[in-house]
Amino acid sequence: MPLEFAGPATPLDDEAIEGAAKKIGCQVAAVRAVIDVESRGGFLADKRPKILFERHYFSRLTGHKHDGTHPAISNPKWGGYKGKEAEYDRLGQAIALDRDAALRSASWGAFQIMGDNYRICGFEDVEDFVAAMVSGEAAQLDAFVAFVKKNHLDDELIRTDWAGFARGYNGPAYRANKYDEKLEAAYRFHSAGGPHVLSPRPLLRQGDRGDAVKDLQTLLGLTVDGDFGPKTKQAEVKFQKSQKLYADGIVGKNTWAALAAE
């Protein structure tokens, strides 16, 4: 039996990213920075969009009437996350109670836009919004562009004001999660060298020096000196182990992606 919400999981391409940058009026590197930090792609392995179910949204949207009987999915306090495919179990429980509120209570796709923002993203109802999120990452990117412009965050992307953008997009806790620093580091990667449609990600190892090492140290939360020494390698190995990556202390494509998504 086909999974509900499974789609073609069509990935982004350079043309779509360039088109988004033109609509916003910012550099391609700025859009790529957001893509790096917000997600590692918009879909799960089973081709359903990545979601996170927010029980405090569901509680509010249903007038708190399910809080007593279903506190795991309807609760004034945020939390209770299960992650990955298990988030669809939580969504399914909520759909059984109130489908419209349930779909509006999940964040969807590569940019984790709440279903409750469907109108801001240009959709008539949340079902249309979800259908677009299921259709592929290009539609997820279009929704992101609409969300950014409607919330007047395009100015921050144009100026590469990462603190301002992170505050508007991620909320007041952005500093605790270092979203602005991660965005700035990712932007430097994509704006350094070569055409902006490319994604330059230098392979780094102990002994390397320079701006790329500084970006790595920023993402790891280390003292930034641009010198990939033993302390940087130790921190990198620890991070790789935490992400179940091959812990060799060498920073390649998979490690960069994991760092940007933290």
- Any residues with CB less than 8 A from the CB of 22 and at least 6 apart, and which? none
pLDDT > 90 in the chain, percent: 64
* Confidence at 197, pLDDT banded by 50, 70, 90: very low
In the sheet with 51-53, reading across from the earlier edge strand, the strands are 51-53, 106-108, 113-114
pLDDT of 33 > 80? The answer is: yes
The three-point CA angle 153-158-159 to 5° equals: 100
Residue position matching structure tokens 């796709």: 109
pLDDT of 22 > 90? The answer is: yes
Residue position matching structure tokens 């809080």: 67
Q: Per the structure block, which two tokens stand in for 41?
A: 């792609």
- Any residues with CB less than 8 A from the CB of 245 and at least 6 apart, and which? 254, 255, 258
Q: What is the pLDDT of residue 201?
A: 64
pLDDT of 206 > 70? The answer is: yes
Q: What are the tens digits of pLDDT across the range 186-195?
A: 898 888 753 4
Mean pLDDT within 71-79: 96
Q: What is the pLDDT of residue 85?
A: 95
- Assessment of whether the complete model's pTM goes beyond 0.85: no
Q: What structural domains does the chain harbor? A: 14-158 (no CATH), 162-261 (1.10.101.10)
Mean pLDDT within 250-261: 80
